[in-house]
């Protein structure tokens, strides 16, 4: 096993407050009523077009683009700075490097914003690359993981995908990569398990002990076929 692919929001960073601010700017722009933080939490890690379609059935593409623009104005002004690393994630990245392996960030956040967050939070020296979505946010997590495999020059059996939402698990399995779910982020164990994840870490310390100090292996053929069938 050569590398770890990490989701960003909800896995390495807690961007909750900045995202809530930006979500609300988008809701206002779309003429939607405000919703409380508990309801907004369900959309953490969700691509914006998908969020808008759930909140406003029948929304047209021009409205989606208008909502995305409003979100980005708020995010660039305030949201990107309302972000912090989870305690212990730097320890994970350092230990991976100590073991002679690489870390990559693979996120549905648009690439320019992902790079800004990585630089602002001092993550750049700890990662080999940052793969983010296009500005139209049409890339699926599976697409992005595929791009990461191509750019890293790695095979699927050489990496694991770490994330906190079902998108991370489904994207990993579509690329025949072993997913590891972290339980300190925005998703639940039940959500991750329904998507096909069977490997979990409750804390960064547990992650290091289970998946860094003891090197994880790739998916065995039978296990791979079983898990991939979940999302196919």
Q: Judge: domain 3-14+84-231, CATH 3.40.50.1000.
A: yes
**Between the CA of residue 47 and those of 12, 54, 110, 154, 208, what are the distances in Å?**
18, 11, 10, 26, 29
Which residue shows structure tokens 């990461």?
A: 148
**pLDDT (0 to 100) of residue 119:** 92
131 forms bridges with which residues in the sheet?
106
Q: For the chain, what are the domain ranges?
A: 3-14+84-231, 16-81
pTM: 0.83
| Cα 8–chain centre separation | 5
C-alpha to C-alpha distance for 108 and 114, rounded to whole angstroms: 9
User: Which position among 7, 9, 14, 139 bears the catalytic label?
Assistant: 7
C-alpha to C-alpha distance for 202 and 40, rounded to whole angstroms: 23
Asked if 7 is an active-site residue, the reply is yes
Two structure tokens written together for 2 = 């050569």
C-alpha to C-alpha distance for 95 and 2, rounded to whole angstroms: 13
Per the CB < 8 A criterion, the answer to whether 79 and 64 are in contact is: no
pLDDT tens for the chain, 232 residues: list them: 899 999 999 999 998 988 999 999 999 999 999 999 999 998 988 889 999 999 999 999 999 999 999 999 998 888 888 889 999 999 999 999 999 999 999 999 889 989 999 999 999 999 999 999 998 778 999 999 999 999 999 999 999 999 999 999 999 999 999 999 999 999 999 999 999 999 999 999 999 999 999 876 665 545 655 554 444 4
**CATH code assigned to 16-81:** 1.10.150.240
N- to C-terminal Cα separation, the chain: 25
Two structure tokens written together for 16 = 């909750």
């Amino acid at each position: 096993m050569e590398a770890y692919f990490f989701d960003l929001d909800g896995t390495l960073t807690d961007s909750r407050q900045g995202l809530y601010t930006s979500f609300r700017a988008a809701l206002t722009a779309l003429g939607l009523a405000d919703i409380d933080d508990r309801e907004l939490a369900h959309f953490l890690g969700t691509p914006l077009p998908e969020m808008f379609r759930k909140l406003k059935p029948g929304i047209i593409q021009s409205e989606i683009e208008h909502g995305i623009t409003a979100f980005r104005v708020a995010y660039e002004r305030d949201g990107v700075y309302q972000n912090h690393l989870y305690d212990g994630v730097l320890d994970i990245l350092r230990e991976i490097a100590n073991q002679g392996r690489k870390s990559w960030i693979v996120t549905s956040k648009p690439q320019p914003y992902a790079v800004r967050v990585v630089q602002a939070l001092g993550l750049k020296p700890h990662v080999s690359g940052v793969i983010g979505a296009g500005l139209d946010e049409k890339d699926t997590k599976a697409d992005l993981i595929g791009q990461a495999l191509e750019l890293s020059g790695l095979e699927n059996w050489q990496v694991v995908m770490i994330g906190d939402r079902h998108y991370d698990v489904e994207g990993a399995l579509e690329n025949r990569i072993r997913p590891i779910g972290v339980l300190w982020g925005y998703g639940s164990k039940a959500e991750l398990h329904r998507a096909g994840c069977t490997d979990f870490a409750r804390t960064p310390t547990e992650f290091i002990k289970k998946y860094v100090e003891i090197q994880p292996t790739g998916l065995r053929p039978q296990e791979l076929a079983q898990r991939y069938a979940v999302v196919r």
